[in-house]
C-alpha cells in the first residue's frame, strides 16, 4: 500500500515570480480552477502583503477554489500575517505560509538578525498565524545551506508554536539528492516533535536537480512536495509538478508513494499555463514537451509498432495528451480533422470548424504532415483569437548580408487598408517598425521568443511577444511556417489584445 504525498502547487506564487510569467487576475482565476481540477492539495495563490493586486488575486482565488487548500505567503511580521489571513479567510480550506531565512549568510547579510532573534521571530509569527487557523506552514528559507543543528531547533520551535507543515527549501538549488535526503533523515531523527508536522520540500532548479532532490527527500520521509507547472519559478525555476508526479507514478514500485493528482489533467494544465503566460513549452521538456512522445529513429518506430512499451514508459493519453504522431495530411478530410480536434478537447461549431479546416488545408499545402501541436496552434489562431482591429493582409520581407532589411506590409486598420515599407536592423525589426508606423503606436517589446512547433525544417515557427503600452501589457502569439510572418502575426495579435483592453477600460 502506497503512502500519500501532498502536492503543494506554487505556480501562482513562486512561478509567477519568474520573468515573463506574470498573469492578470482573470488568468490566475482560470489557472487556479484548473489546478483544483488537477487535484493538487494546496494552491499557493500569492503573497498578499506584496501588493494590492496580489491581495485581490488571492481573495479571488480563495472564492473560486472548491477542493484544494489555498495558501497565502507571509513574511514573519504581524502586518504581513494579518494581511495573508484577510485574503484567504473565506477560502474553503485556508492555509497561512510564513517564512524566514535560517542560513548564516541570509541571517547576517539580508536579515541582519542573530540566531536568537530568528528563533524568537519564528515562534511569535507562527503563533500569530496559528491564532487565525490551525493550518499553518513554516518555511526555513535557504534551509539546505543552514547549520543543521540550528535548522533542527528552528523546526522544533515552529512546530511548538503551531506549524502543522514544516517546509525545507533548497532556495538556491544548491543541494544534491544524497545530501538532501540525509538532511531530511537528520530532521526526522533529531527534532523531537517532528511527527506532529508534515515535512515539506521546495527545490529550485539552479543545478538542474529540482526534481531529483524532491524525489530523494520524499524517499527519505518528506510527505509534501512544492512544485510548479512546467517547472516555472525564480531563476532556473522549481521542481516541475508533471515530472515529480509521473516519476512517482511510473516508478511507484520503488518509491511506494502516491498522490491525489488526476494525471489526465496534467497536459491540459501545462498547456493552459503556457497559453496564459505566452511562454512556449520547450519541445524537449519531459512529459509535456512536443517531442516527449515522438519517435524519430526507424528502429524505435519499428519497436513501437510491435509493442508500445519498447520505447514508451507511459502513454501520452495517460496525461491527457493525444499521441504525438502525424495527425493529418493533404488528403485528410473534414471528419478526420473534427475527430482529432475532439480528442484534443476542442468541440467546435460548424463555423469554427470551417475556419480551422480551411487553415489546415492551407497549411497542408506547405507542410506535409500536420501534428497535434500544429492543429492546436491553428485553433488558437482561428477560433480563440481576439476580434481583429488590426489585420495582416500582405507581408514581404527582404534580408541578407548584402541587403538593408526591409519589410513591405499591407494591413487593415479599423476597416481601412494601409500599406508601407520600412527598414530595420534585421527583418523582424523591420516588420515590427512597419506595423508600429501603420497602427500609429509604439509599444515597448518586453519579450520575444520563437520556437519550432514540431521538428523538421518545414515545421511551423511559433512566436510569442509581450508588449506594453500605456501601462498595460498583452501577450500575442502567431504561428506560420515562415518565422517572419509568424512574428508579424504574434505582434498584431498582441496589439489586438491591447486594443481590446483599452476598449474594455473605456466602457468601464
Ligand atoms: O525558495 C524559497 O525558499 C521560497 C520560500 C518562500 C518557500 O520560495
Ligand atoms: Zn522558492
Distance CA(439)–CA(443), nearest Å, equals 11
Pocket-testing residue among 18, 98, 169, ligand 1, by greatest number of atoms within 8 A of Cβ: 169
Q: Looking at the CA of 102, name the nearest ligand.
A: 1
* Residue minimizing CA distance to atom 5 of ligand 1: 141
- Average pLDDT rounded to a whole number, residues 386-394: 85
Average pLDDT over residues 428-449: 95
Cα 54 to Cα 175: distance, rounded to the nearest angstrom? 31
Ligand 1 within 6 A of 202 CB?
Answer: yes
Closest ligand 1 atom, CA of 143? 3
Q: What is the pLDDT of residue 501?
A: 67
Q: Which three cell numbers stand for residue 354?
A: 470551417
In a 13 Å sphere around the CA of 280, the CA atoms on its Cβ side amount to 25
Cβ of residue 141 lying under 6 Å from some atom of ligand 1:
yes
Q: Is the pLDDT reported for residue 274 higher than 90?
A: no
Verify whether ligand 1 is closer than 6 Å to residue 169 (CB atom): yes
Q: Is the CB of 55 under 6 A from ligand 1?
A: no
Mutation test residue for ligand 1: of 167, 217, 231, the one with most atoms within 8 Å of CB: 167
Measured CA to CA in angstroms, residue 361 lies from 23, 295, 344, 351, 375 at distances of: 34, 25, 19, 16, 11
Q: What are phi and psi of 4, to 5 degrees?
A: -80, 135
Angle at 359 between CA 355 and CA 360, to 5 degrees: 115
pLDDT given for residue 325 in this prediction: 58
Rounded CA gap, 324 and 307, in Å?
Answer: 16
Residue range 344-379, pLDDT digits in tens: 667 788 998 999 999 888 888 877 778 777 787 788
Ligand 1 atom, smallest distance to 99 CA: 6
Mean pLDDT of 190-195: 98
- Which residues touch 18 (CB under 8 Å, ≥6 apart)? 232, 233, 234, 235, 237
Cell of 469: 503600452
47 lines ligand 1 (CB under 6 A): no
DSSP string, 113-146: --HHHHHHHHHHHHHHHHHH-S-EEEEEETGGGS
Q: Which atom of ligand 1 is nearest to the CA of 204?
A: 1
Question: What average pLDDT does the segment 411-418 reach?
Answer: 94
CA–centroid distance, residue 87 to ligand 2 (Å): 21
* pLDDT band with cut points at 50, 70 and 90 for residue 15: very high
Is this prediction's pTM over 0.75? yes
Task: Establish whether residue 14 lines the binding site of ligand 1, counting it when its CB lies within 6 angstroms of any ligand atom.
Answer: yes
CA 141–ligand 1 middle distance (angstroms): 6
Quick one: which ligand is closest to 75's CA?
A: 1
Distance between CA atoms of residues 265 and 241, nearest Å: 12
Rounded average pLDDT over 57-76? 98
Confidence check: pLDDT of 339 > 90: no
Atom of ligand 1 nearest to the CA of 172: 1
Cα 160 off chain centre by:
35
Taking the centre of ligand 1 as the mean of its atom positions, its distance from the CA of residue 68, in whole angstroms, is 20
Mean pLDDT of 435-445: 96
pLDDT for position 504: 59
> How remote is the CA of residue 14 from the centroid of ligand 2, in Å?
6
User: How far is ligand 1, taken at its centre, from the CA of residue 235, in Å?
Assistant: 12
Q: Strand 224-227 vs strand 198-203: parallel, antiparallel, or unpaired? A: parallel
CATH architecture of 390-507: 2-Layer Sandwich (3.30)
Average pLDDT over residues 305-320: 86
**Atom 8 of ligand 1, nearest CA residue:** 14
Residue 149 pLDDT grade (very low, low, confident, very high; cuts 50, 70, 90): very high
Indicate which residue's Cα is closest to atom 2 of ligand 1.
Answer: 171
Centroid of ligand 2 to alpha carbon of 11 (angstroms): 10
Phi, psi of 287 (to 5 degrees): 70, -55
DSSP 3-state assignment of 208?
coil
More confident site: 496 or 7: 7
* Per-residue DSSP letter, 262: -
| The pLDDT value given to residue 439 | 96
| Ligand 2 centroid – CA 89 distance (Å) | 24
Please state, in angstroms and as integers, the Cα–Cα distance from residue 35 to each residue in 14, 45, 92, 165, 383, following that order: 15, 11, 15, 21, 24
Is the CB of residue 99 below 6 angstroms from any atom belonging to ligand 1? Answer: yes
CA–centroid distance, 266 to ligand 1, in Å, is 24
Q: Indicate if ligand 1 lies below 6 Å from the C-beta of 139.
A: yes
Residue 508: pLDDT above 60? no
Q: What is the pLDDT of residue 354?
A: 92
Q: Residue 158 in 3-state DSSP?
A: helix
Q: Which of 55-69, 113-127, 195-209, 398-412 has the lowest mean pLDDT?
A: 398-412
Flag whether pLDDT at 21 surpasses 60: yes
Residue 302, number of CB atoms within 10 A of its CB: 12
Please provide the average confidence, as pLDDT, over all residues in the chain: 91
User: Per-residue pLDDT averaged across 127-147, rounded?
Assistant: 98
Where in the chain are the domains?
Answer: 3-277, 291-319, 326-382, 390-507
Q: What letter does residue 282 receive in the DSSP assignment? A: P
Task: Confirm or reject: Cβ of 173 under 6 Å from ligand 1.
Answer: no
Sheet holding 406-413, edge to edge: 390-398, 406-413, 416-423
What is the predicted pLDDT for the residue at 498? 86
Q: How far is the CA of 99 from the centre of ligand 1 (A)?
A: 8
**Nearby residues of 184 by Cβ (< 8 Å), 6 or more positions away:** 168, 199, 201, 217, 220, 221, 222
**Three-state secondary structure of 460-489:** CEEEEEEEEECCEEEEEEEEECCHHHHHHH
Helix (H, G, I), strand (E, B) or coil at 175: coil
Fold agreement (3-277, 390-507): no
Q: How many angstroms does the Cα of residue 169 sit away from the middle of ligand 1?
A: 6
12 C-alpha to center of ligand 2: Å?
12
- Cell for 326? 502525424
φ/ψ region of 223 (left if φ > 0, alpha if ψ in -120 to 50, else beta) reads alpha
Q: What is the mean pLDDT of residues 75-85?
A: 98
Domain 3-277 class, CATH top level: alpha beta
Amino acid at each position: 500500500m502506497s503512502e500519500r504525498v501532498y502536492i503543494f502547487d506554487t505556480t501562482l506564487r513562486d512561478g509567477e515570480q519568474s520573468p515573463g510569467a506574470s498573469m492578470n487576475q482573470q488568468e490566475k482565476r482560470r489557472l487556479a480552477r484548473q489546478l483544483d481540477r488537477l487535484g493538487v492539495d494546496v494552491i499557493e495563490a500569492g503573497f498578499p502583503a506584496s501588493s494590492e493586486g496580489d491581495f485581490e488575486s488571492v481573495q479571488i482565488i480563495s472564492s473560486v477554489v472548491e477542493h484544494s487548500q489555498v495558501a497565502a505567503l507571509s513574511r514573519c511580521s504581524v502586518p504581513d500575517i494579518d494581511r495573508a489571513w484577510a485574503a484567504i479567510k473565506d477560502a474553503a480550506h485556508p492555509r497561512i505560509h510564513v517564512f524566514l531565512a535560517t542560513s548564516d549568510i541570509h541571517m547576517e547579510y539580508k536579515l541582519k538578525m542573530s540566531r536568537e532573534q530568528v528563533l524568537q521571530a519564528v515562534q511569535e509569527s507562527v503563533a500569530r498565524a496559528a491564532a487565525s487557523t490551525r493550518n499553518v506552514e513554516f518555511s526555513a528559507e535557504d534551509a539546505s545551506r543552514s547549520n543543521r543543528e540550528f535548522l533542527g531547533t528552528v523546526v522544533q520551535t515552529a512546530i511548538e508554536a503551531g506549524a502543522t507543515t514544516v517546509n525545507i527549501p533548497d532556495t538556491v538549488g544548491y543541494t544534491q539528492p544524497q545530501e538532501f535526503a540525509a538532511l531530511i533523515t537528520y530532521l526526522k531523527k533529531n527534532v523531537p516533535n517532528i511527527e506532529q508536522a508534515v515535512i515539506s520540500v521546495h527545490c529550485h532548479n539552479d543545478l538542474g536537480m529540482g526534481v531529483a532532490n524532491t524525489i530523494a527527500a520524499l524517499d527519505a520521509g518528506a510527505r509534501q512536495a512544492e512544485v510548479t507547472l512546467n517547472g516555472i519559478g525564480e531563476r532556473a525555476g522549481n521542481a516541475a509538478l508533471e515530472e515529480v508526479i509521473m516519476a512517482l507514478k511510473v516508478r511507484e514500485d520503488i518509491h511506494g508513494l502516491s498522490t491525489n493528482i488526476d494525471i489526465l489533467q496534467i497536459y491540459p494544465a501545462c498547456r493552459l499555463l503556457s497559453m496564459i503566460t505566452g511562454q512556449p513549452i520547450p519541445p524537449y521538456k519531459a512529459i509535456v514537451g512536443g517531442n516527449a512522445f515522438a519517435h524519430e529513429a526507424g528502429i524505435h518506430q519499428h519497436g513501437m509498432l510491435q509493442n508500445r512499451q519498447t520505447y514508451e514508459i507511459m502513454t501520452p493519453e495517460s496525461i491527457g495528451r493525444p499521441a504525438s504522431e502525424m495527425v493529418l495530411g493533404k488528403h485528410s478530410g473534414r471528419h478526420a480533422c473534427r475527430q482529432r480536434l475532439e480528442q484534443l478537447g476542442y468541440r467546435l461549431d460548424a463555423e469554427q470548424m470551417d475556419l480551422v479546416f480551411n487553415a489546415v488545408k492551407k497549411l497542408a499545402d506547405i507542410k506535409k504532415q500536420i501534428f497535434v501541436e500544429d492543429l492546436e496552434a491553428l485553433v488558437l489562431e482561428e477560433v480563440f483569437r481576439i476580434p481583429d482591429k488590426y489585420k495582416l493582409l500582405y507581408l514581404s520581407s527582404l534580408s541578407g548580408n548584402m541587403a538593408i532589411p526591409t519589410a513591405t506590409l499591407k494591413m487593415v486598420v479599423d476597416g481601412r487598408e494601409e500599406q508601407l515599407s520600412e527598414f530595420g536592423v534585421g527583418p523582424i525589426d523591420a516588420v515590427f517598425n512597419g506595423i508600429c508606423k501603420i497602427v500609429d503606436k509604439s509599444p515597448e517589446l518586453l519579450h520575444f521568443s520563437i520556437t519550432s512547433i514540431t521538428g523538421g525544417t518545414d515545421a511551423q515557427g511559433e512566436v510569442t511577444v509581450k508588449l506594453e503600452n500605456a501601462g498595460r501589457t498583452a501577450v500575442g502569439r502567431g504561428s506560420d511556417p515562415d518565422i517572419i510572418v509568424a512574428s508579424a502575426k504574434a505582434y498584431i495579435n498582441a496589439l489586438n489584445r491591447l486594443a481590446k483592453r483599452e476598449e474594455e477600460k473605456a466602457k468601464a
